[in-house]
Structure 1
Amino acid sequence: MVYQQKQIERSVFRAYDIRGIIGKQLDEDAFYSIGLAISCRLYELGRKKIFVARDGRLTSESLVKALQQGLIDSGISILDLGAIATPMLYFATHTLQVDSGLMVTGSHNPADYNGIKIVLAGTTLVEKDIHHLYELVVAGRCYQGKGEYHSFNIIPAYIQRIVSDIKLKRTLKIVIDCGNGIGGPIIPSVIRALGCDVIPLYCDVDGRFPNHHPDPSVEANLADLKQAVAHNQADIGIAFDGDADRLGVVTDKGEVIWPDRLLMLYALNLLEKNKGATIVYDVKCSSHLGALINEAGGIAKMCPTGHSIVKAVMREENAALAGEMSGHLFFKDRWYGFDDALYSACRLLEILSSNPQTVSEQFAAVPNSINTPEIKIPIADEQKFTFMQQFCEQAHFPDAHIITIDGLRVEFAEGWGLLRASNTTPCLVARFEAKDKISLERIQALFREQLHNLDKNLVLSF
């Protein structure tokens, strides 16, 4: 197949990856051009080899071939890992001699999206570096050469590393919902190898995602998991997103445990043996989390949202653990510091198995509050950042503490509210937490007033 260098919309070069609608914003020619641009960066970094992998989306196979061809035509040699979960690509870059990798994945976006997550010289690219790739595409710079192509199977080493690290003290019955994502062929077998009784749900790979959208941060997508946990009298249900770097959890009582409360359990366990450890969490997380970390002898560090941003802050702070509300969880303790939903799930099972109480009883001991999940407010991609800037400049919240590291987080004595622009979808994201329902409604009303002062036509679901 012949590929042509082409210009690409700047908007698909996002804060922590490249992502867009296939056939409209991205196509095979675009992936070829991106391959050429990435080759330029690899030469600058002194790298001549790179891992490449893909998820199970219908477009991923043809797109990864175009990306690889752009790299090979520039003299970069390819180690093709095939169709695997994103954390397996990260694992390869951390444990083998090649420290760069590209993952063709649309993550949790709708089926018509796809994109690339990028690790170069051991670092997951963030906004500035991703925008530099766009500039290289526009400039049309490229090297000429003939790289080699090799395939490589990372799966056995990855599985062995997890199984050798995790030790369960009792058998748990678990429903695993892979949402027809790429983790399906591997995840149930790994958890069985730990000694668990596994009930698989939607573990066949299907890039159409026919059963539900593969985004465990949306409670509606966990409905079948809740039902399966109840029907099978399971101890817990765990859901994974499309490329298996995010998770969601449902207890034996059908309660969704949002990732900030998962982080609380992880933090308490970690700090028992690692007093003084730094734990990083994103701006969407509960105020209880920071307080709990500090009270347990740790150092709490809030940061902007985004998997690549969290990893960068982890490195800067030498943190042992990190996480964000979307379900990305990062262990540096006993692991490598990248977001890995399967490893995080296994660490959770290890903690839960060490306590004879039920899963719901164990989480009942973790602080909770009146709160909302992420609330999405539709807005055009090209308008969301401008709107957010105007909101930060014009909104007025007297007697509140304002945090502006990512959007606007407004903290009151009785709770807080957050508004930020999503970096992956055309929407604003809001979240609220308070000590009681009346306080929550008051904070939401303040945000509604300020939002409608800026745009009366904005559709709000809170």
Structure 2
Amino acid sequence: MSFPAPEIFKAYDIRGIVDRTLTADAVRAIGHALGSEAVKRGQRTIAVGRDGRLSGPELAGALAEGINAAGVDVLDIGCVPTPLSYFAAFDLGTDSAVSVTGSHNPPDYNGLKMVLGGQTLYGDMIQDLRRRIIENDLVHGLGTTRQADVRDAYITRVTGDVKLKRRMKVVIDCGNGVAGDIAPRLFEAMGCEVVPLFCEVDGNFPNHHPDPSKPENLEDVIRVLAAGDAEIGLAFDGDGDRLGVVTRDGEIIYPDRQLMLFAADVLSRQPGAQIVYDVKCTRLLAPWIREHGGEPVMWNTGHALIKAKLKQSGAALAGEMSGHMFFKERWFGFDDGLYAGARLLEILSASADANAVLKALPTATSTPELNLKMNEGEPHALIAEMQKSAVFDGARDIIKIDGLRVEYADGFGLMRASNTTPVVVLRFEADNEAALARIQADFRRVLLGARPALALPF
């Protein structure tokens, strides 16, 4: 037996290049390990969904075969957004679910996002699946696979909870990802007039890449908004668990500003609640949360890590700069771009001018996420070294929960090692361009002092 490639076992999920590092045999073996772990945890049934990638049917089938080989049953919920796989764990009572998805990666990628007994697998739990395969620590049985459908139940659950105060006209861009199969139906059921954009599910992603965190992937939404009379644009990533937002006049509302709106809304009903956000978010978020009666909690980047913190802390809401939003208030606490879009429209529908509400949110001069490419293993080594020895000019505070977030009187700089690709992630924010340039110069001095050959992206 050949063992799955070690590099596909990532920090938050399993991910690789189809037929190279991620083969059907590898997924079958992982399924057997996952089923064995499910048995250990007393779980007897796992819901399995898949996104719209061309490799999805074969890999989902192999996964089900592996899970069945451990004596665990599979409910195959078909081609659905990742949030619907999570929803199935609640709606079908399985408590366990796997989404076969490459998320926002290129078309030749695929992977697995896994939940067992209500716990998202990450870190050592994912590495333990590999250990089970290598050590043949597997249980054997004869599980069954049968079909199930949660799409109507999902739409019914969302529309039963989220109510618009008025009809809204919305551009919905799914980038040919799997959200295209359900997003137009959902928002029409809520009473919206929908302008669909690239809602045909096509794993080749022929129009633009389904990653709304990159501004170039929102250009089509901006163009359609400018040409028509829709009042907002919503964009979803490849598997529908992340949300991008564009105003009527073409301004991108990044997720940390979306989180301000969500926090104010949630805190109006749950005063004093904790709101969790990741280290990449704006420094304007914490004071906003306090002003609205909440307790801000900064945490590590990563959807699985944020979910674990949300569960452990009892917070009402969480979000991260990548676009994952996690509602515990009125929802289940998993990241769901579709539900986040619905909650956003509910808030905006209370105003006659959605554009004005969005544009009134506090903002600062900032950079997008910048990536410093390095060789495998180098980013974590560099950040560990920086945490020990780096000295920054004029820093008020240095936060080390995930890399280094250096707070200045008039801005912040961040450097952290990505847990998914061999890059150092950098982000900068300041009160003005001059302060931004000064903070970047401070980071440039520190980084080049440690690694003079680095090709910095700023």
TM range (shorter): over 0.9
Q: How many Å apart are 1:272 and its aligned residue? A: 1.7
Which of 421, 441, 448 pairs up with 1:445?
A: 441
In the superposition, the TM-score normalised over structure 2's length comes to 0.97
* SS of equivalent residue, structure 1 residue 184: helix
Q: Is the 8 A contact 2:393 2:442 kept in 1?
A: no
Q: Which runs of 5+ in 1 are unaligned?
A: none
Shift of the 319–99 alpha-carbon distance from structure 1 to 2, 3 Å rule, reads same
> More deviation in 100-109 or 140-149?
140-149
Q: Kindly indicate whether residue 228 of structure 2 is the aligned counterpart of residue 206 of structure 1.
A: no
Q: Give the root-mean-square deviation of aligned CA atoms.
A: 1.2
2:314 is matched with: 318
> What is the 5 A alignment of 1:117-266?
117-266=113-262
2:82 is matched with: 86
Q: Is the 8 A contact 2:256 2:321 kept in 1?
A: yes
Amino acid at match of 1:13: F
2:408 is matched with: 412
Q: Is the 8 A contact 2:243 2:324 kept in 1?
A: yes
1:39 is matched with: 35
Q: Kindly indicate whether residue 267 of structure 2 is the aligned counterpart of residue 271 of structure 1.
A: yes
Q: Is the 8 A contact 2:177 2:240 kept in 1?
A: yes
Amino acid at match of 2:33: A
Which of 67, 71, 75 pairs up with 1:75?
A: 71
Query: In 1, distance between residues paired with 2:382 and 2:129?
Result: 26
> More deviation in 22-31 or 232-241?
22-31
Q: Kindly indicate whether residue 44 of structure 2 is the aligned counterpart of residue 48 of structure 1.
A: yes
Query: In 1, distance between residues paired with 2:455 and 2:176?
Result: 31
> What is the 5 A alignment of 1:321-336?
321-336=317-332
1:112 is matched with: 108
* SS of equivalent residue, structure 2 residue 107: coil
Residues 72-120 of structure 1, C-alpha deviation per residue, up to 9 Å, x if partnerless? 1221111101110000011111233211111110001111111100000
Residues 263-282 of structure 1, C-alpha deviation per residue, up to 9 Å, x if partnerless? 00111122122210111100
2:356 is matched with: 361
2:382 is matched with: 387
Q: Is the 8 A contact 2:277 2:319 kept in 1?
A: yes
Query: In 1, distance between residues paired with 2:21 and 2:379?
Result: 18
Query: In 1, distance between residues paired with 2:176 and 2:136?
Result: 38
Q: How many Å apart are 1:232 and its aligned residue? A: 1.4
In the superposition, the TM-score normalised over structure 1's length comes to 0.97
Amino acid at match of 1:236: I
1:14 is matched with: 10
* SS of equivalent residue, structure 1 residue 115: strand
- The number of residues matched between the two structures is 457
1:371 is matched with: 366
Residues 319-372 of structure 1, C-alpha deviation per residue, up to 9 Å, x if partnerless? 111100000001111111110111100000000000112x33112321111111
Q: Is the 8 A contact 2:91 2:150 kept in 1?
A: no
Q: How many Å apart are 1:65 and its aligned residue? A: 1.1
Q: How many Å apart are 1:47 and its aligned residue? A: 1.4
* SS of equivalent residue, structure 2 residue 331: coil
* SS of equivalent residue, structure 2 residue 398: strand
Amino acid at match of 2:202: D
Query: In 2, distance between residues paired with 1:412 and 1:123?
Result: 37
* Runs of 4+ residues deviating >4 angstroms: none
* SS of equivalent residue, structure 2 residue 110: strand
2:299 is matched with: 303
Query: In 2, distance between residues paired with 1:105 and 1:202?
Result: 19
> More deviation in 19-28 or 318-327?
19-28
Query: In 1, distance between residues paired with 2:143 and 2:423?
Result: 40
Query: In 1, distance between residues paired with 2:233 and 2:292?
Result: 28
Amino acid at match of 1:364: K
> More deviation in 359-368 or 169-178?
359-368
